[in-house]
Amino acid sequence: MTPTAPDAAELRRRTQEFLAAHPPATTGRADFLGARFDAGLAWVHYPEGLGGLGAPRSLQAVVDDELQAAGAPDNDPRRIGIGLGMAAPTILQFGTDEQKRRFLKPLWVGEEVWCQLFSEPGAGSDLAALGTRAVRDGDGWVVNGQKVWTSSAHLARWAILIARTDPDLPKHRGITYFVCDMTDPGVEVRPLRQITGEAEFNEVFLTDVRVPDAHRLGEVGDGWRVAQTTLMNERVAIGGLRLPREGGMIEPVARAWRERPELRTHDLHQRLLTLWVEAEVARLTGERLRQQLVAGQPGPEGSGMKLTFARLNQEISGLEVELLGEEGLLYDDWTLRRPEHVDFTGREAGYRYLRAKGNSIEGGTSEVLLNIVAERVLGLPPEPRTDKDVAWKDLSR
């Protein structure tokens, strides 16, 4: 008989018992996080033994609230966001039992950082046109190619990787999905300096990198379907971040408006009101989307959230620079830094304005996401695609 999933009261009781056995004030951070995973309080909706208890996803907030009130440490989710939001759900759905046991715990506790080797210089918006090759060699694969826009590659131990394994098939059908060890010979990471002066992105060169077949996720040639799970979760992770009311990019603008009346003008007031309302609508829509996730995997609706996130961030940061005038152009550090995560609200207005320009590119360009929403959410006719059934090797590049 299948055991009954714990309800909110049971999860609260388990969390309180866990805190009594592992007091945050006297338990080391690594030990606390590892014990939390083993107790099933990491992802409560994951299976038992893999950080969860098979509970509804919506009940994660019950655990998180109890732990936060007790001053428990978190796993620094901004630093390991790619692992949490993209690698983990893909491994859970397509990984073998051995892969789940090997990767999920060190991923969640933050022992191992992950990055994403998807985009290429010639395959960004049209990701399925990628040219990185993986050739079978005994019990493994030899990978050659170049990836680009790879966040956290300079920190990562592991990468989720898609590569072409059959150039004779149409582009969507000859791709396979792998887990790549970023410390292996042949993996070279080079920084890409951004308009902010930082280099959170990288380009990655793969030269005769050997990937064991045991690190393949899904079937050979089924990588595009596996990658869709990653991409849908990525867009929810980027655009569906849980925020308090007046949280995110709108917070520093509203605060400056209240605290510095000398900056106010009628025109900026009307724009701020409009953007404040839109930010609140986006926040509530994100809450509804997360409730829908309780019933299953994220769908194309996450693309709509990510579209809104990008547009609002760019418009709000532009308004902030206008509000602050010359002060809004100040930016304290143009040196080449290698940050561990993006910090939108803890930096200057000038940084927010520049960094927000990338929001309409990362995680899928806004143009591509508009097509996804049009076709998969609204049911509009798809654009003509003349290369859909053409072998990848015959495509013009």
Q: What are the φ and ψ backbone dihedral angles of 133, each rounded to 5 degrees? A: -105, 140
Spatial separation of the C-alpha atoms in residues 235 and 299, rounded to whole Å: 10
Please write the tens of the pLDDT for every residue from 107-152.
999 999 999 999 999 888 789 999 999 999 999 999 999 999 999 9
205 and 315 within one domain: no
* pLDDT over threshold 90, residue 174: yes
Domain annotation covers residue 86: no
* pLDDT over threshold 90, residue 384: no
What are the angstrom distances between the C-alpha of 73 and each of 11, 25, 69? Answer: 18, 10, 11
134 and 273 within one domain: no
* pLDDT over threshold 50, residue 1: no
- Helix count and strand count (H, E) for the chain: 12, 8
Please write the tens of the pLDDT for every residue from 356-379.
998 888 877 888 888 888 888 888
Computed over every residue of the chain, the mean pLDDT equals 90
| Lookup result for tokens 């064991």 | 212
Domain annotation covers residue 239: yes
Structure tokens given for 119: 């985009």
Domain annotation covers residue 95: no
Q: How many CB atoms lie within 10 A of CB 302?
A: 28
pLDDT at 12: 97
Output the domain CATH number for residue 332. 1.20.140.10
Q: Residues 95, 217: contact at Cβ < 8 Å? A: yes
Spatial separation of the C-alpha atoms in residues 181 and 39, rounded to whole Å: 28
287 and 251 within one domain: yes
Spatial separation of the C-alpha atoms in residues 369 and 373, rounded to whole Å: 6
Q: Which of 206, 223, 240 is the last residue of a domain?
A: 223
370 and 239 within one domain: yes
Domain annotation covers residue 84: no
Q: Which of 177, 197, 223 is the last residue of a domain?
A: 223
Parallel, antiparallel or unpaired: strands 133-137 and 114-117: unpaired
270 and 203 within one domain: no
pLDDT at 188: 98
Spatial separation of the C-alpha atoms in residues 218 and 224, rounded to whole Å: 10
Residue 176 pairs in a beta bridge with 163
290 and 328 within one domain: yes
Domain annotation covers residue 326: yes
Please write the tens of the pLDDT for every residue from 2-12.
468 899 999 99
Asked about 120 being catalytic, the answer comes back as no
361 and 240 within one domain: yes
Using 50, 70 and 90 to split pLDDT, how confident is the model at 180?
Answer: very high
Please write the tens of the pLDDT for every residue from 5-42.
899 999 999 999 999 999 999 999 999 999 999 999 99
Please write the tens of the pLDDT for every residue from 295-342.
555 567 677 888 888 999 999 999 999 999 988 888 776 666 787 777
Domain annotation covers residue 216: yes
234 and 362 within one domain: yes
273 and 176 within one domain: no
Summarize the confidence of residues 242-270 as an average pLDDT.
90
Please write the tens of the pLDDT for every residue from 182-220.
999 999 999 998 888 888 889 999 999 999 999 999 999
Domain annotation covers residue 104: no
250 and 190 within one domain: no
Domain annotation covers residue 154: yes
212 and 131 within one domain: yes
Q: Which of 223, 257, 284 is the last residue of a domain?
A: 223
Output the domain CATH number for residue 154. 2.40.110.10
Specify the number of domains making up the chain. Answer: 3
Print the domain residue range for 14: 10-74
Q: Residues 355, 344: contact at Cβ < 8 Å? A: yes
The catalytic position among 234, 301, 320, 348 is 234
354 and 231 within one domain: yes
Helices (H), the chain: 8-21, 29-38, 60-69, 81-82, 88-94, 97-109, 223-239, 250-259, 266-293, 301-324, 349-355, 366-372
pLDDT at 385: 81
pLDDT at 333: 65
| Lookup result for tokens 């007091």 | 23
25: exposed, middle or buried (Cβ count in 10 Å: 0-12, 13-18, 19+):
exposed
